[in-house]
Structure 1
Amino acid sequence: MKYFIRGLFLSLVMSLPVLAQTELLDKVAVIVDQGVVLESEVRTLVDEVKADAAAKNQRLPSDEALRTQAIERLILKSLQLQMAEKMGIRVSDPQLDQTIANIAAGENATVEQLRTELAGQGIAYNDYREQVREEIIMGEVRRANVRRRIYITQQEIDNLMDLIEQQGSAQAEYELGHILIGFPPETTDTDVADARERADKVMKLLDEGSEFSRIAIAASSGSEALDGGNMGWMNINAMPTLFAEAVQGKRKGDIIGPIRSGAGFHILKILDTRGIEVVEVEEVHARHILIQPSIILSEDRARKMLEEFKAQVIAGEADFAELAKEHSADPGSALRGGDLGWADPNIYVPEFKQALANLEPGEYSDPVRTQHGWHLMQLLERRIDDATEQRKEDKAYQLLFNRKFTEESENWLREMRDSAYIEVLSK
């Protein structure tokens, strides 16, 4: 034992120079609350900035200024990662792998190609993975803390929508069809009444599906009558004010009129548009019965129950709504006889959405398994809904959110740094 202790003592003494050398290789550069920034981290970041600047042929400030900026960035990084630790934010390896695969796909490359590219730049893949992991974590921390600081009023959204509308309208162009039911010279009230009656008849024919160009050739007093009433493409700011006001908010195929002017009654058809965003979404109206398997109700029995319900409903032996009220495990729709109302099918889980896509109005599905259980569904109706205004509002909201998120992120980081204990140690 004596010789063992003596040998251990000698080995410790002999290793002291090595430990001293190791200590000299790295040291604490900054104390940041409960964490530290190492000198090696500062040097690595400065070297990365220099390499990037050299590749872009950019001039850089002094090494001292670079060091100051690098330390500041690493302080903020440390504070965010410490907060993530307190909040319990983690990024699993599968989530990290998926993010890296998405990054590679965004560059039209595979993960293997990305690894090769990193190796060519002298970057270890494991180091890159951890950098990405930290970026994801910091992003989650920022979103969690900054989102609750953002408040957007409906008035702000409306104002921005008006501004977008004004900017967009300057680019809006319409291809217009035009029929003019003209007034004779020295127009009398009788002339106006007669013209109005003819205009109403033209509108009735068009509503019944008559060809616009044929009626324009036959009945229009306009100069473009022989062209089927086609006025060609016109910017909304270049067309007559009367027309510009009439076509605002209208869509391709819409027929507008009769509109009275000093020349007579005008009937317009929007033949086509460009420079105008129109968003249409398909909505479905469906109902369903949900049966959830349990310890006492097997998967097979749940499925067979719905098969029996389907057969009974088709045979007229049972009512779908009554079955839903009695048996469905979906409390939100069961009281309404399983009715889900009108909805964008994208809100449903993939299996449910796909089953609805395969149905014609009135048809019943076979039992469908989703994460919620077994469903028997019926598609009641489909419709195309104009979501342009909703999309504009969503766009305005997102623009405001992004602007405020950037502003509040800076404020949040500054406040976090000001309240933290920071000690920059001598170099």
Structure 2
Amino acid sequence: MLQSIREKVTGWVAGVILLAVGVGLALFGVDFQAATGNYAARVNGERIPVETVRRAWQNRQAQLHQMMGGEVPEVLLAAQRQALLEEFIRTELLSQRAEKFGYRVSDRQLADRLREIPELQVDGQFSRDRYAALLRAQGLTEPQFEADLRGDMMIRQVQLGIVDSSFVTPHELDRRQALQAQQREIDYALIPAADFAAGIEVTDEQIEAWYREHSDEFMLPEKVDLEYIELTRARAEQSVTVTEEALREHFENVKDRFERPESRRARHILIPVEEGDDKAAARKTAEELAERARAGEDFAQLAREHSKDPGSAQQGGDLGWAQRGMFVGPFEEALFAMSPGEIRGPVETPFGFHVIRLEEIQAGEQQTFEEARPELEAEYRRERSQTIFYDQTQRMADLAFTALTELESVARELDLPLQKVSDFTREGGEPFGDDRQIIEAAFSEDVLERGENSPLIALGDDRAVILRVARHTPAEPRPLAEVRDEIAARIRTQAAREAAAERGRQALAKLREDKADWESVTKEMGLANVGARLVTRNDSIVPPAVLRAAFSVPRTRISGESPAFDGVSTDDGNFAVFAVSDVQDGDPAAQPEEARNGMRRLAERQVGNEEFVAYLVEAERQAKIVRTNIAFE
């Protein structure tokens, strides 16, 4: 059922196709069967192919390497392997549910979605040429892509059907608003880590031990030297030969575009006929107005006084210049049969009865070949260069595929320079910047490990590249001598923070003794007490870590006679001890309507997401799922 093409996609296509369900793996009991069969998983009998997951995993690994700037810890890789397989399983589960309950995506909905994708637009409008070019670059067909997009839209319908139908009761909304607007009275004192740094000595042994234990933090990034060949549409355009014969043939094919059709400027008086109106009376009124106009009365004045057309009445009935196809049939037939100054009417249309006066005619005009030549030549060059560029890129791709592991012969055959790039990392590098397609191709298994040429990489509509790795330098630790001072500073900083935290723990031990007094303890220990403040969750003066910790203290620990004491490391490495002595819930009735509506929407979305997670858990509980680890071997 799941005809997935996810293993082929990168960049914008991946963003459209992959549905992020976003459910924590902890929700599911995941176990794997022995590696048998040719599937990565089986969901209610439907198989998820090994190769589908394997290629998606290659893409995921490339992304992880780029994010981590080199080697990725095995624990993270293991978690990501499991997460990726669960994504495929959940997508298949939801796809089956969508089919079972009759969800459908119409052709119109699919077309609307395609038009919304920014990567398929040119100047803000959907471009079929760009759509076709990008699919070609990804090795996809329109039916493949649209089938998967339609399937993912159906899955989205399942999700939104649950999320968007959720609600919260007024009581629950009041409770949430009271918590959100809650205030707490706190005292806090900061213990700066810098106060302890001066007396900390760092030995060579400590530096060397730190270097051994944290060598992955001092890595020189993995690098490759690339060779590549590049084709551009500008180069293709240079090979376009424009002949007189070709231009004239092109002119004949598009001649209609260089014709200015006849235009007519008219005025009219509209007597509308609504449902239930006396049609005969309306016709008679129009006839009388036509006779008055023919008798010499000012047509424009008659229109101002009697026409019911809101768009033209105040302009004396002036309709401006118009060409065929702009008016309803009966009106157009009459207008284009008239002579300047002639008055006709009544003319009946679905809007009512019209009296028409033709003011003037602007004859149609056909541009000559010579007049149209500059535009014709530019258009011809553009179209021919696009065709030549496409043919050249396909030939380049075929030659590179045949050459397999070298590009010199391809460059010679196509008379292209073999260009080189040094020290290209998973973060990118000139001249490609951080282009994801180039990075993923350069560090893919086929190119990096097998030494093969990359597939054709389309960089927009007018540039294409094929590359290979000429040299690979794995990530390696920086020399100890180079990072010694940096390590010493880290050790000193960490020791100072630990000393500040220990001082804070000592203060907390005293504060938690029976009948301990905040003022006396902080004074005795030489702590800088900031003083009591009544704060909200959004207070901008109290350090964020202190604020978060203070609002996390259970209410049951707080009373006026016995404050709750606690401590926390701040975001800048210092330590804070604090006391929470009072809690005051917010008043929901005092909240602005806008804030209440915002809270309601947020709460409904949270409830909806929780219900969707529960729906997924139940769907998996009912399903027959077999997992294997073949795709990751």
What TM-score do the two structures reach when normalised by structure 2? 0.26
What TM-score do the two structures reach when normalised by structure 1? 0.37
Higher relative contact order structure (alpha carbons within 8 Å, sequence separation ≥ 6): 2
User: Whose Rg is larger?
Assistant: 2
